Amino acid sequence: MSLADAFTKLRTIYKLRQHDSTEYLSNNWFIIAAVVISTLNHPEDIQQLYALINLDIDTMETLSSDEKLNLKTKVVAKLRDAILKGFIAGGFPKTINGLQQLHKATPEAILDRLPKQPIRQEDTWEKVTAQRQRGKKLFDTIYDRHTDRVMNMMATSYPDLAQTAHYHLYGSVLSDTTTVSAKETSLIVVAGCFAQNLPSQLRGHAYGAVHNGASQQDLQQVYESVVVLCRHYGTPVPLIPPPIESKL
């Protein structure tokens, strides 16, 4: 199966109406594809993913040239933050490579419209404190009544592990919803955990996705997308877990 065929399958899984400009940005097929491609260590294929997105938007007859450029900019902004958040499960070196490939694929006209400064500002202690509080709130939402148990488990393994999760992973990166929503963020982490066959972390983050508003269909779409890309790359295909209850 070619990568183009794999992308076609993903778009079918997500029921993408590729000429519908109002729906395109909210459809998660491209952020899940990008995160899984990076996680499976094939960052060069990010460029082919961007080329397909670019073609989709160019064929939207209802949009003016400037509107097409604006939509492409929003898509790239979402891709960048999704790939960044993907490092939580996939690893930082893979995220670096994925973002470099996306940057190479992005035309200057779009790069010129994207932020030149971090969207996660940390130039005052008040902002850092707010991020940490925001991260704790997200962590509490994901793990619900099991929050203390999960945090204690990490602290027992190594106190700095729990601190890093709260202050840096959740506080600075995951909890920011400027570009990628909390629900989308949870699905990104689910995709990374499932692609790497990490059942313990997958279970927690699958429930976390539900706590952040995801449905079983949302999870199923992620699982099926990961399976498609694993088969394309010839990597071990994880078993799709059974449906979960609404609460952990």
Domain boundaries, the chain: 3-118+216-233
Q: Quick one: DSSP state of residue 81?
A: H
* pLDDT recorded at residue 171: 78
The tokens for 238 are: 């994880």
pLDDT of 52: 96
Per-residue pLDDT 10s for the chain (248 aa) are: 899 999 999 999 999 988 888 899 999 999 999 999 999 999 999 999 999 999 999 999 999 999 999 999 999 999 999 999 999 999 999 999 999 999 999 999 999 999 999 888 877 888 778 778 877 777 777 777 777 888 888 889 888 988 888 788 887 888 889 999 999 999 999 999 999 999 989 998 999 999 999 999 999 999 999 999 999 999 999 999 988 765 55
pTM greater than 0.85: yes
DSSP annotation of 61: T
> Could you tell me which residues come within 8 angstroms of residue 58 by beta carbon, excluding any fewer than 6 positions away?
68
For the CA atoms of 130, 134, 139, 141, the dihedral, rounded to the nearest 10 degrees, stands at 150
Closest among 55, 53, 71 to 63, alpha carbons compared: 71
- pLDDT at residue 105, as a whole number: 97
pLDDT attached to residue 132: 80
pLDDT of residue 225: 98
Q: How far, in Å, CA of 84 to CA of 78, rounded?
A: 10
Alpha-carbon gap, residue 93 to 100, rounded angstroms: 11
Q: Can you read off the two tokens belonging to residue 48?
A: 């082919």
Contact status, residue 184 vs residue 84, Cβ threshold 8 Å: no
